[in-house]
Amino acid sequence: MVINLFSWIKRLFKKKKKAKIGIYGPPNAGKTTLANRIVRDWSGDAMGPVSHIPHETRRARRRGDVIIEANGTTVTLDIIDTPGLATKIDFHGFMACGLEEDEAKRRAKEATEGVIEAVKWLDDLDGVILVMDSTEDPFTQVNVTVIGNMEARNLPLVIAANKIDLQKASPARIRGAFPQHPTIPISALDGVNTDQLYKEIAERFG
């Protein structure tokens, strides 16, 4: 295996500092559930509310100084829970979830602003945890775009293959789709396999 020698030497001599890590993914992949899980596990608090209606998170939320200890490594992270990325937002979809038209339109407007905010954060991160729904097709444009941006910037990326508590989940499909990046099967809701995720976070972002 070819080693990125330059990056390795740079990391070896660089003083460890705080890393800004964005939690990205499509709407309803479980980003805020995972952000809540991480922050609760390591600082005893929560980041934001979750909902079955897509685009519940419409403003990026930042939690600073989250210290994670795993595998003998300690990392200090600023965690940014970003709004779900999408290429289309139709208020009719929110009406189908039971919202009134005015409320659905307002949510759609805020969701578009949230997507813009999430895209802008990509320029200011040290790494990304990309949350994918293991029950869904992994080759979505959102996943392809986020991974492409991290690779182009040569920044670390960890894929959290979420919702393995569901019967249809297939984290192996995600691993097969993006074999160049570490993929950790988890259930953010139940906390399954999060220890493995923390080890990977400590290794990649430390």
Partner 1 sequence: MSQNKNSSQTNIQLDFISEDKLAQMTPMEKIRMVLDEVRSGKIIVLERGLTPDEEAKLIEMTMTEIIPDEFSGIEIESYPTKQNTSFFRKILGKNTTQTRLTVIGQANQLTTIKKDRDMITAIVTK
For partner 1, the binding residues (CB under 8 A) are 2-7, 10, 85-91, 105, 108, 112-113, 115-116, 119-120, 122, 137, 139-141, 144-145, 147-149, 151-152, 154, 177-178, 180
Using the minimum distance from each CB to partner 1, give the nearer residue, 28 or 36.
28
The two tokens of residue 131 are: 């949350």
- Residue 185, beta-bridge partner list: 161
Q: Are 83 and 57 contacting, i.e. CB atoms less than 8 angstroms apart?
A: yes
Task: Give least dist CB 11 to partner 1, A.
Answer: 11
Task: Give least dist CB 40 to partner 1, A.
Answer: 30
Going by C-alpha positions, the residue among 18, 124, 157 that lies closest to residue 74 is: 18
Using the minimum distance from each CB to partner 1, give the nearer residue, 108 or 161.
108
Task: Give least dist CB 150 to partner 1, A.
Answer: 8
Contacts of 94 (CB under 8 A, 6+ apart): 53, 54, 55, 103, 104, 107, 108
Q: Are 58 and 107 contacting, i.e. CB atoms less than 8 angstroms apart?
A: yes
Using the minimum distance from each CB to partner 1, give the nearer residue, 57 or 194.
57
- The CA-based diameter of the chain, rounded to the nearest angstrom, is 57
Using the minimum distance from each CB to partner 1, give the nearer residue, 64 or 148.
148
Task: Give least dist CB 141 to partner 1, A.
Answer: 5
The rounded distance, in Å, linking the Cα atoms of 111 and 131 is: 18
Task: Give least dist CB 103 to partner 1, A.
Answer: 13
Using the minimum distance from each CB to partner 1, give the nearer residue, 4 or 71.
4
Going by C-alpha positions, the residue among 116, 122, 182 that lies closest to residue 146 is: 122
